[in-house]
Amino acid sequence: MRASAFNTRLLENFRLWCHKLLANMLPQLSSIANEKLCEVNRRLDTALNNMSQGLCMFDSEGRLVLCNERYIQMYRLSHDAVKPGCTIRELLALRKVCGTFQGDPYEYSTNLLARIAEGKTLRETVEALDGLVTVIVDRPIEGGGWVATFEDVTARRQLEHERDRGQKFLNTIVENAPIPIFVKEASGLRYVLVNRAGEQFWGVSRAEMIGKTSHDVFPKEEADLIAVRDQQLLRSDQPVVDEREIQTPRNGIRSIVSRRLTVCDEDGKSRYVVGVIQDVTERKLVEKRIAHMAHKLIHLNRTAIAGVLSASFAHELNQPLGAILSNAEAAEVLLTANPLNLCHLKEIIADIRRDDQRAGEIIKQVGGFLKKGDEIELQEFDLSDAVRCAFHLLDHEAVTRGVVLGVRQAKVALPVRANEVHLQQVILNLAMNGMDAMARCDPGSRKLTLETAWAGDTDAEVSVSDSGIGVPADKLERIFDALVTTKPQGTGLGLSIARTIIEIYGGKIWAENRPGGGAVFRFTLPLAKTRAA
Ligand SMILES: Nc1ncnc2c1ncn2[C@@H]1O[C@H](COP(=O)(O)OP(=O)(O)OP(=O)(O)O)[C@@H](O)[C@H]1O
Ligand SMILES: [Mg+2]
């Protein structure tokens, strides 16, 4: 055999051998490739079916290539009905039956296919009849067809709705609140919110305030003050409540109580300044009027007391006047004597001077008692002095009414800060009530005692006790109310005025019945200096 023929045979044998070998191996190789492919497909299916979004892939004709489990669940479709190859129109028709599509399947799919053909990505939010809200994105893919994703945003939408509802609710409250409310952004201190009551209070429309600073809205002096206070608030970061007068842009000066605070970001940085204002102008005016009326009443009550005690006043005054007259007569007699007893004369003149001073003091005291005045003059004095003064004024009246008047004073001074005349008035009111309560008692048993004492370390106490009929237990509280009286000529104002006065000076007043009969009225006042001091 020639070499070439031999080589050809060899090659032919080798080719046949290779053929055989390949023929034996091919099924094995294809099974390995198949297995790999299946594995990849399985993984892909697992990934697709575990997506939180629904996903579909369509070819350029609108036929389904694949879809995941979530899509089928989301639109309540059946696995049997959704098969690769079914058209988008058929899918929409199925969804319509399930109530998860509301449009016209033909119209919708035609439009969609046209838009995809133009290479446009479509995005829309769709709300189904059952309340399911989905965001659908149809994205064209290379080589034709598209991928559609379906995201269920029902819960998110609900939260957004709730947040919007809450916001609206809050806005309605703020807008309709009868008190002015404003919000400024902390960085530039420009108004971002002013409610209706605020517009009325400042006399400026919202349009004129929003986006503006205080200097754009308020008179310069007021704006300067607001700016300083805002800076202080931002520095301290603590809510501030204060009362002051404010110069409004178009509503004059108003008295306000304002509460201001800062609202911070999550990172703790001040974001807004919020202010709530209470207009107390009217309340202040009413308070002023009431105070004025109370002063008038207090004065009227004093005049009434002076009327009752006029005989006492006259009696008090008569004593020094009588003494002056007697001394003047004695001096006249002495002047006729020869030789003149100058020493004696000097003594008489000194007595006249002393009695004149005493008369002057009584007139001053009565004048002071009847003095009118809205302003309360505060003095620091010994409470026992006021009691002593009242005792002198009552002395004659007590004798006239057959009452034994006694006074017991604390051994040490009881310094209080008040108006002395006011306190005398309280003591006189209590004392005259006590005398009234004893009017029908046996003349020998009528006893009225004024007493001063320490009450703890911080207060001084005055008590006025009588041996009269006492106060019915159920009336002990009520007798301090205005117009409560059991007397035919009484106004029922004495005790209510006494309480007003005592409360003005930070004290307390109350009544008790004494175990042995009669009543005791007490009041306490804070000491100007504590006992320890
Ligand atoms: N010491 C007392 N003992 C018994 N009852 C008293 C005593 N003090 C006051 N009351 C009762 O309290 C009532 C109210 O006293 P209040 O001083 O307010 O008015 P009033 O004395 O009746 O009238 P006004 O003070 O105008 O003369 C008296 O009418 C009386 O019934
Ligand atoms: Mg009275």
265 in a domain, yes or no? yes
Is the CB of residue 319 less than 8 Å from the CB of residue 350? no
Residue whose CA lies nearest to ligand 1 atom number 5: 471
Question: Which residues span the domain enclosing 361?
Answer: 282-375
**Domain annotation covers residue 145:** yes
* Residues 515, 402 share a domain: yes
Last residue of a domain, one of 258, 279, 300: 279
In a shared domain, residues 288 and 369: yes
The pLDDT of residue 20 is 81
Q: Is 382 in the same domain as 521?
A: yes
pLDDT along the chain (533 residues), means of 10: 66 77 76 83 87 94 94 92 94 91 94 94 89 93 94 93 94 95 96 96 95 96 95 91 94 95 92 96 91 83 84 84 93 88 92 92 81 74 93 91 96 93 94 96 94 93 97 92 90 93 95 95 91 53
- What is the model's pLDDT at position 8? 75
Contact 401, 311 (CB under 8 A): no
- Compute, in angstroms, the gap from residue 46 CA to the centroid of ligand 2: 97
Domain final residue pick, 331, 359, 375: 375
Residue whose Cα lies nearest atom 27 of ligand 1: it is 490
User: Rounded to the nearest whole angstrom, what is the distance from the C-alpha of residue 419 to the centroid of ligand 2?
Assistant: 20
491 ligand 1 Cβ < 6 A:
yes
CA-CA distances (angstroms) from residue 126 to 52, 73, 123, 134, 158? Answer: 17, 17, 10, 5, 14
In this structure, the residue with its CA closest to atom 13 of ligand 1 is: 485
* CA 79/CA 72 separation, integer angstroms: 7
434 lines ligand 1 (CB under 6 A): yes
Is residue 42 domain-shared with residue 71, that is, in the same domain?
no
The token duo for 164 is 């919007």
Q: Is residue 133 part of a domain?
A: yes
383 and 501 share one domain? yes
Q: Domain check: are 273 and 290 in the same one?
A: no
Same domain as 391, residue 430? yes
Q: How far is the CA of 433 from the centre of ligand 1 (A)?
A: 5
What number of CA atoms fall less than 13 Å from residue 505's CA on the CB side?
32
Establish if 2 belongs to a structural domain: no
Element (H, E) at 257: strand 253-264
Centre of ligand 2 from the C-alpha of residue 515, in Å? 22
Number of domains in the chain: 5
Closest C-alpha residue for ligand 1 atom 8: 433
Atom 22 in ligand 1: residue holding the nearest Cα: 485
Please tell me the predicted confidence (pLDDT) of residue 145. 94
User: Atom of ligand 1 at shortest distance to CA of 490?
Assistant: 23
The reply to whether ligand 1 has any atom less than 6 angstroms from the CB of 433 is yes
Of 474, 487, 513, the one to substitute when testing ligand 1's pocket (max ligand atoms within 8 A of C-beta) is 487
Residues 356 and 469 occupy one common structural domain: no
Nearest CA to ligand 1 atom 1: 434
Pocket test for ligand 1, best of 401, 425, 433, 522 (most atoms within 8 A of CB): 433
The verdict on the CB of residue 485 being under 6 Å from ligand 1 is yes
Q: What's the 102 CA to ligand 2 centre distance in angstroms?
A: 87
Domain membership flag for residue 164: no
Q: Tell me, in angstroms, the distance from the centre of ligand 2 to residue 473's CA.
A: 18
Assess whether 391 and 527 both reside in one domain: yes
CB-based contact 57:145 (threshold 8 Å): yes
| Residue 339 preceded by cis peptide, ω within 30 | yes
Q: Does one domain contain both 403 and 455?
A: yes
219 domain residue, yes or no: yes
Q: Is 5 within the bounds of a domain? A: no
- Which atom of ligand 1 is closest in space to residue 464's alpha carbon? 1
Take atom 2 of ligand 1 and give the residue whose Cα is closest.
434
| Ligand nearest to the backbone CA of 435 | 1
Q: How far is the CA of 264 from the centre of ligand 1 (A)?
A: 60
The answer to whether residues 443 and 435 touch, using CB atoms and an 8 Å cutoff, is no
Is 16 among the domain residues? no
Counting Cβ atoms within 10 Å, is residue 305 exposed (0-12), middle (13-18) or buried (19+)? buried
Among 444, 445, 521, which residue's Cα sits nearest to residue 477? Answer: 521
Ligand nearest to the CA of 513: 1
Q: How far apart are CA 173 and CA 115, in angstroms?
A: 47
Q: What is the pLDDT of residue 4?
A: 64
Q: How far is the CA of 107 from the centre of ligand 2 (A)?
A: 97
The pair of three-digit structure tokens given for residue 295, joined into one six-digit string: 């002063």
Pick the last residue of a domain from 90, 125, 155: 155
CB atoms within 10 A of CB 459: 20
- Best residue among 485, 491, 522 to mutate for probing ligand 1's pocket (most ligand atoms within 8 Å of CB) is 485
Q: Are 54 and 150 spatial neighbours (Cβ–Cβ below 8 Å)?
A: yes
Whether 249 and 291 map to the same domain: the answer is: no
CATH number for the domain spanning 192: value is: 3.30.450.20
Whether this prediction's pTM lies above 0.75 is answered by no
Nearest ligand by distance to the CA of 437: 1
Residues 514 and 477 in one domain: yes
